[in-house]
Structure 1
């Protein structure tokens, strides 16, 4: 009977030890999971920041191009007026 009780006690200690090890491993898994979640959030945040920076650069380029277009359109309008004047002068000189 003592051997049976001793065996039961030994098994009980083993189970308790394994239960404790499982709890420790669960804590490690939880910590790793939290770490992964944090890293994932950081990566997404960095991607968002990179995208915002790229959009800002593109907006700056767009504004510069629009300004150049406006200058070019004004020059075209001025040249058209000059061309019309020259055509009138040319027509007058033909007569």
Structure 2
């Protein structure tokens, strides 16, 4: 059996696609990763990196993961609020998601 290591790019792409981004949008957000070293200015690379980071941070996977952490935290008020949002998400209500 051959095992393939999942790259960070593969992980980010799958998270974004699962969150409703099209393959074209994912390609646009990750295209800077293909650029040759030195081809992009430091500013362009930073902007592209931040755009990708924001897209991933706003993904369903990231939101649900962080809400789950809050739901099991010792902060009872935060846990109750997180659980309420997780219930709404599981019921299919479109909160915080890309339409």
TM-score, normalized by the shorter chain, greater than 0.5: no
Larger Rg: 1
Structure with the higher fraction of residues in helix conformation: 1
Question: What's the TM-score once normalised by structure 2's chain length?
Answer: 0.25
Question: What's the TM-score once normalised by structure 1's chain length?
Answer: 0.26
